[in-house]
Structure 1
Amino acid sequence: MSRSITEHALFRPRASKAETKADITDHAARAIIGDEAARREAKTAKLRQARLENEAKPTTVPAPAKLRPKKAASARQEKFSA
């Protein structure tokens, strides 16, 4: 026994296999969720910037074309529709 017995060497905590696998899964899941959140925030910022640029442009709305009045239905069509 060449090692000296100290408080840290004697009672070294060791993770069980289940805890280790859970930590790996947790780390992977958090990385995926973090990546998705970063992409979502980047997309939101890009869309917000595009919307602000679009709103800043002066818009000229063309005058709507005049609507033609509808012709009265012929007497023949009125008979069949009733």
Structure 2
Amino acid sequence: MAVTKDNIFKPAKSSAEQKASSTDTAARQIVLAEAAERVRKTESLRKLREAREAEAPSIAAPPSRAARKKAAKA
């Protein structure tokens, strides 16, 4: 192994700018991963809901109060 200054001396401390850049990169990766997971979960839940709604018989909503009042007056 060749003797160089990199082998003998400790590497210089990283600057604040490099630390900020690495922190920013890590934070962005985490945010993107969470967003992708959220989209995947939403799509999965939507498919399950649509399948459940397709299997269940459609139930008509009960008439509103205004409709019941009109029917009672007539």
Deviations 1:47-79 (A, max 9, x none): 1111112223356xxxxxxxxxxxxxxxxxxxx
- Partner in structure 1 of residue 39 of structure 2: 40
Question: Aligned partners of 2:7 and 2:56: how far apart in 1?
Answer: 68
For residue 23 of structure 1, report the CA deviation from its aligned partner: 0.6
> Could you list the runs of 5+ residues in structure 1 that have no partner in the other structure?
1-6, 60-82
Q: What value does the CA root-mean-square deviation take over the aligned residues? A: 2.9
TM-score by length of 2: 0.54
Deviations 1:12-47 (A, max 9, x none): 253222111101111111111211221121111111
**Which has the larger Rg?**
1
2:11 counterpart SS class: coil
Q: 1:54 to 1:12 in 2, by over 3 A?
A: same
Moved over 4 A (4+): none
Which residue identity is paired with 2:40? E
Larger helix share, 1 or 2? 2
- Partner in structure 2 of residue 49 of structure 1: 48
Identity of aligned residues (%): 9
TM-score by length of 1: 0.50
